[in-house]
Amino acid sequence: MSSRTTAFQGLSIDQKLDLMEQLWASLSRRPHDIPVYEWQTDELDRRWQRYLQDPSAGSSWKDVVTRIRTRHGKSNRHPGRSGK
């Protein structure tokens, strides 16, 4: 196990989640540097073709968010985390 992995094990859940948020923010500043693999574009093409065959079969973003919030609560934060 690398020393970096060992260091992560000593972090609390909140600290790990904060670190993940920081990593995501860093990556999202340069989205063109993130590789897109062939299997990902294949999956997007498959989904696009499925949508074109029957656009009514999907859900609106609003419906998706409502369904998630109904199942898992309205909070956008992890349930164990303090509201920052």
pLDDT digits (tens, 9 = 90+) for 29-48: 999 999 999 999 999 999 99
In the predicted model, is pLDDT for residue 71 greater than 70? yes
In the predicted model, is pLDDT for residue 6 greater than 90? no
Amino acid letter for position 45: D
* pLDDT (tens digit per residue) in 52-65: 999 999 899 999 99
- Nearest Cα neighbor of 66 from 74, 58, 78 is 74
Tally DSSP H helices, then E strands, for the chain.
4, 0
Q: What is the pLDDT of residue 70?
A: 93
- Can you give the residue ranges of every domain in the chain? 37-74
In the predicted model, is pLDDT for residue 2 greater than 90? no
Q: What is the pLDDT of residue 33?
A: 94
Q: Residue 67's Cα: distance from chain center in Å?
A: 17
